[in-house]
Amino acid sequence: MATDPTRLTIHELSEAYRRGEITPTEATEAYFARIDSLDSRVAAYHTLTRDRALSAARAAEARYRAGTALGPLDGVPIAYKDVFCTEGVVTTCGSKILERFVPPYDATAVARLGAAGAVMLGKTNMDEFAMGSSTEHSAFRPTRNPWDLERVPGGSSGGSAAAVAGELAAAALGTDTGGSVRQPAAFCGVVGLKPTYGRISRYGLIAFASSLDHVGPLTRDVRDAALVLHAVAGADPHDSTCVDEPVPDYPALLEGGVRGLTLGVPREYFGGGLDGEVEAAVRAAIAKLADLGAQIEEVSLPNTDYGLAVYYIVAPAEASSNLARYDGVKYGLRAPGGKDLIDMESRTRAAGFGAEVKRRIMLGTYALSSGYYDAYYGRAQKVRTLVRRDFEQAFARVDLLVAPTTPSVAFKHGDKADPLAMYLNDVFTVGGDLAGLPAISLRGGFSASGLPIGLQLMARPFDEARLLRAAYTYEQSTDWLSRRPDLG
């Protein structure tokens, strides 16, 4: 084995498999060896699926030997956020209420990667029910950022981002409801892609906010994001909101550059709360994209700040309804001692949910309750229309938007104990979810202290090919990918 397989991207690894330099079993064993030595410090994983992984790796290996490999993902070790149902493998969603839940089926995204030959290494840690921006709200333990273990990896897909950044998986799947793929990708210096709403099936995803939940890959580079998207995208009879649009061959469409594209720079994304180092890095990236031939134009998304307020009504409202299913009857925890059904349910939910989940259920129930519905939920839905129109007007003039992913680099554990301070961290990512637009975060530089800075690109609905092409063009023009976190 010439190279350490844990250092390779998906496309490099599958090339090495094809040439017979590395086998899927060797790569899978190398990943578990690395996880065994490092994950006690990072805590990226909640559950490891070692036996299942090794048997899948051996099957892939046999296919490579027989010349019948399934494609670029065959034998590639991948991690799944613990929000995805995995048949026969405990799926907790980061919550005590589902601590022992074993789903009877696979999520569509998991099934599609499995059918493409991907090897599941395990399930990654997350903020409980995907509610959080730091992975500190996991009911089990916080995940740490591989670039600086004192800092958070972001969230809620923090375990997935830390696994990819720490070279504990070749790639991972996460979910993005208010920024939960892009924000941890930015904090951990990996690529995080949130495609158009309806591009990837939500079937088998434990629901948080159904009109906002998106599945997305976290990868080492843009080409890998294109490979994973291509494997999981497309209509699904199990999810009627998954749109029947053709799936382009994304990896084949990365070349071609940015000449002739107009990139919009939204003025409101460079406001008061933005950290100076992040702003400087993003401005430098925009200048680089101009050097590469893109036209740059300033645009305005005047309702950006209101988007965050809309999000913190709509998402908790939908969550309060979705989480009503945890009633101690069909699955999950049941607390003892309930004197009737309502008492049993109320005790179960009090014991099973953490503080942030309770807060969001309460907020959502309040916003939907009689007398407050029009003032909160009804108004938020109307302002959501205004946010969407901002993007429509911008995209009438420009092809893509370019902006920071987050207002700052990764913060320290415990720094955002106030719930509202944590929420404000999502200000640049919620817009893409509210409008359902495809958006990607990739490395746009580093702070003086060596922490990654996220560069965000956004596109029109179903224009992932152009989004990925611009991201790839930028990525190839820098040497940001040469840096690795030092985990020993």
Partner 1 sequence: MISRDEVLHVARLSRLHLTDEEVERMRQQLDAILAYIDKLRELDVEGVEPTAHAVPVVNVMRDDALVPSLSQDQALANAPDRAGEFFRVPRIIED
Q: Which of 55, 65, 324, 450 binds partner 1 (CB under 8 A)?
A: 324
CA distance linking residue 486 with residue 242, whole number of Å: 40
Residue (37 or 240) nearer to partner 1, CB:
240
CB of 427 to partner 1, least distance (A): 12
CB 407 within 8 A of CB 428: yes
Q: Under rule CB under 8 A, how many of the chain's residues touch partner 1?
A: 72
Inter-axis angle of helices 222-232 and 10-18, nearest 10: 80
Q: Is there binding between residue 419 and partner 1 (CB under 8 A)?
A: yes
Q: Is there binding between residue 329 and partner 1 (CB under 8 A)?
A: yes
Catalytic positions are 81, 156, 180
- Which one of 30-38, 132-140, 278-286, 378-386 is the stretch in contact with partner 1 (CB under 8 A)? 378-386
In 10 A of CB 319, how many CB atoms?
25
Q: Report the candidate in 425, 486, 477 with the shortest Cα–Cα distance to residue 131.
A: 425
Element spanning 256, H or E: none
Q: Is there binding between residue 193 and partner 1 (CB under 8 A)?
A: no
385-404 residues in contact with partner 1 (CB under 8 A) are 385-386, 388
Residue (100 or 397) nearer to partner 1, CB:
100
Site string for partner 1, 281-320 (x = CB under 8 A): ----------------------x-xx--xx-xx------x
How many CA atoms does the CB half-sphere of 365 hold within 13 Å?
10
Residues β-bridged to residue 401: 264, 458
CB 177 within 8 A of CB 126: no
- Which one of 138-146, 260-268, 360-368, 463-471 is the stretch in contact with partner 1 (CB under 8 A)? 360-368
What's the distance, Cα to Cα, between the start and end of the chain in Å? 21
CB of 71 to partner 1, least distance (A): 27
CB 147 within 8 A of CB 451: yes
37-66 residues in contact with partner 1 (CB under 8 A) are none
Residue (7 or 382) nearer to partner 1, CB:
382
Cα→Cα distances 422→67, 127, 347, 378, Å? 50, 12, 28, 25
Q: Is there binding between residue 458 and partner 1 (CB under 8 A)?
A: no
Element spanning 460, H or E: none
Inter-axis angle of helices 355-368 and 304-322, nearest 10: 100
- Which one of 51-59, 110-118, 343-351, 468-476 is the stretch in contact with partner 1 (CB under 8 A)? 343-351
Q: Is there binding between residue 321 and partner 1 (CB under 8 A)?
A: no
Residue (418 or 479) nearer to partner 1, CB:
418
233-272 residues in contact with partner 1 (CB under 8 A) are 237, 240-241, 243
